[in-house]
Amino acid sequence: MRDTYKEKDFVNYVGHNPSSYGNTNIAQIDSLIEGENYWEFQLTVIEPYEKVYCMANLIRPIFTEAEHLLNLGFVEETATPKTRVFRLGELIVSSFYLYIPELHLHFNSGFCLGNVSEITLETFRGEYLKSNEVDFSALHETFPTLANLNDLIYEYVKYYDFDIRKIYKA
């Protein structure tokens, strides 16, 4: 999961103006202003449409959910308690859950680009487990994380036109 915001990213604005009280509003970052000890953002809130200036503490990342994939037109090909695979044309997005009893290790990949459901326990141990710890850099080099909705959008727009309203059926 990335820890920085970029211009044009979508975020949840939990702000300070009356229309946001008690709501989560989807907003797009228009610009970032870096101060000495703070980040300030200019946002465009999608619904209701308005321009907002705010500090970093008033925005949150949007985590990719199955509903987002389905609303974008992905078809769920596999759904088990441990695996989910979605496809839209050549794009494959998947997640898997793995338990390694001797390490008491529960691992949920979150959504990734590619078909992570094909990873076997032996492959996971050999390629992605180092010193009994998950090697996230190796895993995400093979299967880039799409846990942040913006990472999914960046892949999606390589093939399809995008409108945030598709995701939220606004």
Tokens 């939990």 sit on residue = 14
Q: What is the pLDDT of residues 46-97, one digit of tens each?
A: 877 788 888 888 888 999 999 999 999 999 998 888 899 999 999 999 999 9
Is residue 123 scored above 80 in pLDDT?
Answer: yes
Q: What is the pLDDT of residues 127-167, one digit of tens each?
A: 998 888 889 899 999 999 999 999 999 999 999 998 888 88
Q: How far is residue 92's CA from residue 89's CA, in Å, rounded to a whole number?
A: 8
Q: How far is residue 15's CA from residue 12's CA, in Å, rounded to a whole number?
A: 9
Q: What is the pLDDT of residue 38?
A: 66
